[in-house]
């Protein structure tokens, strides 16, 4: 279990989060090593959220927002894409593989696509191997749970 990749998925409330829910309702199977963190919009993501996850030993990060042109807040997902690009550039400078981070776009009706994305990312991370920054998986899991609990206390559409 300790060698399994640990993935943090920042999911938009209006699309990817609902798609993840739908994937569950549809009884679709996908790797259980993903932790879903709901954001009011992917436009809420900041480069430091992504780096904080990697610093705490996460193997990979998914940022999943609405289809381009379909953002509830008009251009949140487009901003997120640019921030993900910047974070990738920083990962390269740090010495971590930028492929550990990916942005995806999907609609709330695409439960199957969500399962596909997680499967794809999980396979990619298995090929890359565990993050050299991860000390032990349990500690990384705890850090993610902590981040997720904090996020859950913040209702969608509001910031802390």
Partner 1 sequence: MIVADRKSVSEIRDMIKDHDRVLLVGCGTCVTVCLAGGEREVGILGSALRMALKLIGRGNVVVDECTIERQCEDTFFDTLAPHVAEYDAICSFGCGAGVQALAERFPNMPVYPGLNTQFIGILESQGVWTEKCAGCGKCRLGEFVGICPITRCAKRLLNGPCGGSQDGKCEVRPDLECAWQLIYDRARSLGILNRLEEIAAPHDWSTGLDGGPRKVIREDQCIARLESEG
Q: How far is the CB of 55 from partner 1 (least distance, A)?
A: 5
CA distance 102 to 100: 7
CA distance 118 to 64: 10
Looking at the Cβ atoms of 28 and 90, the one nearer to partner 1 is 90
Helix (DSSP H) and strand (DSSP E) numbers for the chain: 5, 4
Considering only 48, 68, 155, 157, the residue that binds partner 1 (CB under 8 A) is 48
Q: How far is the CB of 96 from partner 1 (least distance, A)?
A: 7
Check residue 158 for interaction with partner 1 (CB under 8 A). Answer: no
Sign of CA dihedral 54, 87, 16, 42: positive
Looking at the Cβ atoms of 46 and 68, the one nearer to partner 1 is 46
Check residue 156 for interaction with partner 1 (CB under 8 A). Answer: no
Q: How far is the CB of 53 from partner 1 (least distance, A)?
A: 10
Considering only 14, 17, 30, 54, the residue that binds partner 1 (CB under 8 A) is 54
Which of 114-153 are b and which e, b meaning 16 or more Cβ less than 10 Å from the residue's Cβ? Answer: bbbbbeebbebbbeeebbeebeebeebbebbeebeeebee
Q: How far is the CB of 123 from partner 1 (least distance, A)?
A: 24
CA distance 87 to 65: 16
List the end-to-end C-alpha distance of the chain, in Å, as a whole number.
34
Q: Which stretch binds partner 1 (CB under 8 A): 16-24, 46-54, 122-130, 142-150?
A: 46-54
Q: Which of residues 78-107 bind partner 1 (CB under 8 A)?
A: 90, 93-96
Residues that bind partner 1 (CB under 8 A): 46-48, 51-52, 54-55, 90, 93-96, 132-133
């Amino acid at each position: 279990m300790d060698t399994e990749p640990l993935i943090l998925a920042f999911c938009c409330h209006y699309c990817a989060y609902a798609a993840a829910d739908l994937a569950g309702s549809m009884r679709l199977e996908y790797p259980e090593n993903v932790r879903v963190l709901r954001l009011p919009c992917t436009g809420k993501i900041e480069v430091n959220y992504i780096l904080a996850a990697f610093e705490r030993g996460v193997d990979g990060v998914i940022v999943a927002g609405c289809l381009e042109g379909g953002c509830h807040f008009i251009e949140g997902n487009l901003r997120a894409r640019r921030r993900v690009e910047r974070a990738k550039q920083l990962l390269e400078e740090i010495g971590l593989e930028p492929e550990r981070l990916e942005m995806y776009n999907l609609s709330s009706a695409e439960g199957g696509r969500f399962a596909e994305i997680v499967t794809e990312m999980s396979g990619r991370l298995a090929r890359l191997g565990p993050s050299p920054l991860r000390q032990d998986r349990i500690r990384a899991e705890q850090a993610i749970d902590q981040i997720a609990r904090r996020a859950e206390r913040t209702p969608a559409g509001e910031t802390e």
